[in-house]
Amino acid sequence: DLYCTSGESPSPQSASETQPQDMFCSSTMSADCSSNTSADTVDAKCGDTSPKRVCLVCGDTASGFHYGVASCEACKAFFKRTIQGNIEYTCPAANDCEINKRRRKACQACRFQKCLRMGMLKEGVRLDRVRGGRQKYRRSSESPY
């Protein structure tokens, strides 16, 4: 059996109204590994049980939903750094640079704008979490011995 879900919450929306980049497909294994699919159904390779998600910002393989959008680790980290650092970027061109996997580093201003256009939520970034992970205990420089 093949099932597909959209990146948004369930709605009575028809499959034809859902954008292809919003579709995530997965297959469940069967004894004969066959499925009946229509032309409207996104194909899934036989035996591939992991859903394939695409980063809506750059088109790379998405690692999950980050800040409300299916995105890759690179775009997740870029968005987080931008919000936490309160960084404002300026596009050297006309604010219409192409953002894809190969050129995502070319224009930070257009990349950040695309993050927002795709639905990434500034409110999702926790400002109380800083780089470095857990705090480690430090030994004092003075030794009692």
* pTM exceeds 0.75, yes or no: no
Pull the structure tokens for residue 114. Answer: 């695309």
Look at the alpha carbons of 72, 69, 80, 111 in this order and tell me if their dihedral is positive or negative.
positive
Q: How far is CA 24 from CA 19, 43, 45, 75, 96, in A?
A: 11, 10, 13, 19, 28
Domains of the chain: 75-124 (3.30.50.10)
Pull the structure tokens for residue 91. Answer: 């596009």
pLDDT in tens, 46-98: 555 666 899 999 999 999 999 999 999 999 999 999 999 999 999 999 999 99
pLDDT in tens, 88-113: 999 999 999 999 999 999 999 999 99
